[in-house]
Chains A and B, each alone.
Chain A
Amino acid sequence: MSDIVMSAVDVNVRFGGLRALADLDLEIRSGEVLGIVGPNGAGKSTLFNVLAGAIRPTSGRVLLQGRDITSSRADQRARMGISRTFQTVRPFLDETLVRNVAVAALAVGDGRAHAMDVAVDLLEQVGLADKAAARASELGHGERKRLELARALAVRPRVLMLDEVMAGLNPSEVREIVELIRSLCAASGSELVLIEHLLSAVRSLADRVVVLDAGRVLADGTPDDVFGDPKVIEAYLGTKYATS
């Protein structure tokens, strides 16, 4: 359990005067589902962007299995198996669902025919097989989130980072996607990192939870330990949770 797959070492990100991440250290361990929570502006999405290569940290390093990948681009990291979804989902609207997913499979696979097969398979897994030939623009919000999940899986991730995949979904959709993520975790064996505002979902999915606050790690431990920590309750959850 303690094999470190990916890590951020002493990472700082500054946007002008704002310190989005401050001396942050994070380890993603083999076989775990890691939940990352924190209030708005805590630096969760910034952390994802640093790990995925969408932004270069002001200082610090990102390692994948001990190898320094700080200077590699987002597309290179995707091909290394660091895959992410976006908080605001922006699928390729003019394209069919299968092409949305297949273009990612093509980046790591051999040939278009194979990429198409992979895409159809993944769409089946996320429950969109019957709409494979529809255009992404025809999808509702919840379906777009599932399409995003299929796209992120298509690069054969070693580390899969899901940024608020449950935001904006209704309760039944949340239940569905929690089930889906559970089964994907079991089946794929890739490490899963979740950013989620929905604490019930994090509680039921994560093996370990990291709480961010103002760009720093406030707490790190099992869900029960973390959510029982008075520091966390005060900074993030509010007094309401302290009694419940």
Chain B
Amino acid sequence: MTTQATTSPAPRRVRPRRRPSLGIIVGIAVLAALALAPLTGSRHSLGIWTVALIFAGVSSGWAIAGGLSGLIPLGHAAFFGIGGYASAVVFAKYDLSPWLGIVVGMVIAAALAWLMTVLAVRFKVRGPYFALYTLAWAEMLRILASNLDYLGKTNGVLVPYKVDAGPADLQFSDPRGFYLVAVGYAALAMIVFLLVKRSPLGWRLSAIRGDEPTAAASGVDVARSLTRTMALSAAMTAIGGGLYAQYIQYIDPELAFNVSVSIDIAVRAILGGAVLVLGPLLGSVAMTSVTELTQKYMDALPSASLLVLGLAIIALAHWFPTGIGGLGVRLKRIWSRRSDRV
């Protein structure tokens, strides 16, 4: 009665369309180039690119949830800020390694994300409501941090300089040290993104993104997939928050939890392509470049960067809804079609 037509298929291996690994190759090349970049050029923009890379990593962390699952979380400042505060507090108040603080931040962020998502699934908060719901969580944390003496209220927490500091304290005598840490973090976030995308969880997320009822009818545990994904995404984001606070040696409620931080994180991924491993990195580089170039050449118009970014996002949404990375994917398809014809 429970026999079925599909038992033990012959061990033939039909593997239609193994995902091309061009993205990975390009990713490795880009990261290697970024790692070597400060050896050649001037150092004055190193700080800008350190931050850009930290945010590329944060954005990759966001994309684990925002790209792969189809959820639109718009409150990742919550996890970014938790990471920032955790690393700053552990270092400044307890004189322990900020790396430990980052781990503490990851655990708290993951726990909060798990709780948030359990509630969202229970009460069927989805789509734009999920975006607002997550945003509200980040706002709650901002207000909480602004009122807690322990976290220095609106003054925030200063990360002190340490005498004979080393990599264990995330303080470097050479600014290239922190830059390389940022490259490493961006690479790690991209690897985790790729591992999730290709794992069984990634398959389930893709189904959920496609259609939730059909996914459930296919045996996909929607609730568990989403809670796990959000927890992982939050933990990866918290690392970036921790690095950021250590880099600027300061964290306050606005830098940590402001709505603009949440939006910044999401926009970088969406701009580059949230379902592509290279997307957040491309988006982050593009966004920082636009900001820098407009500040340099269009300084008569104070918010020119926002204007240019806004237009770029509208154009991308219209022609390339999968972001800058999607442009590359499409070009590659056109190319392979042409070479087929030859």
Contact = CB atoms under 8 A, between A and B. Distances in A.
A108 B7 CA distance: 12
Interface stretch (B46-54, B97-105, B211-219): B211-219
Given A153-B6, A155-B218, A189 B206 contact: no
A123 B5 CA distance: 12
B206 A99 contact: yes
A54 B213 CA distance: 8
A103 B204 contact: yes
Interface stretch (A35-43, A112-120, A192-200, A236-244): A112-120
A78 B217 contact: yes
Contacts of B1: 5, 30-31, 158, 189-190
Contacts of B14: 116-117, 120, 132
B4 A188 contact: yes
A103 B221 CA distance: 11
B207 to A, nearest CB: 5
Contact of B203 (A91, A106, A153): A106
Given A103-B218, A120-B14, A90 B213 contact: yes
Given A92-B207, A92-B211, A107 B220 contact: yes
B200 interface: yes
A121 B15 CA distance: 12
Nearest to B205: A103
Contacts of B211: 90-92
Interface string B131-152: 0000000000000000000000
Interface string A176-193: 000000001001111000
Nearest to A156: B4
Contacts of B219: 75, 78-79, 104, 107-108, 155
B336 to A, nearest CB: 13
A102 B203 CA distance: 9
B167 interface: no
A120 B9 CA distance: 9
Task: Classify the interface of chain B: helix, strand, loop or mixed.
Answer: loop
A188 to B, nearest CB: 5
Interface residues of A, number: 55
Contacts of B9: 117-118, 120-121
Contact of A154 (B6, B200, B209, B215): B6
Interface in A15-68: 30-31, 52, 54
Given A30-B1, A103-B215, A75 B221 contact: yes
Contact of A74 (B2, B206, B216): B216
B17 interface: yes
Interface in B13-67: 13-17
28 contacts: A5-B1, A74-B216, A75-B219, A75-B222, A78-B219, A86-B214, A86-B217, A90-B210, A90-B213, A91-B211, A91-B214, A92-B206, A93-B210, A98-B16, A102-B203, A103-B204, A103-B215, A103-B220, A104-B219, A107-B219, A117-B11, A121-B9, A151-B218, A154-B218, A156-B2, A157-B4, A189-B2, A189-B4
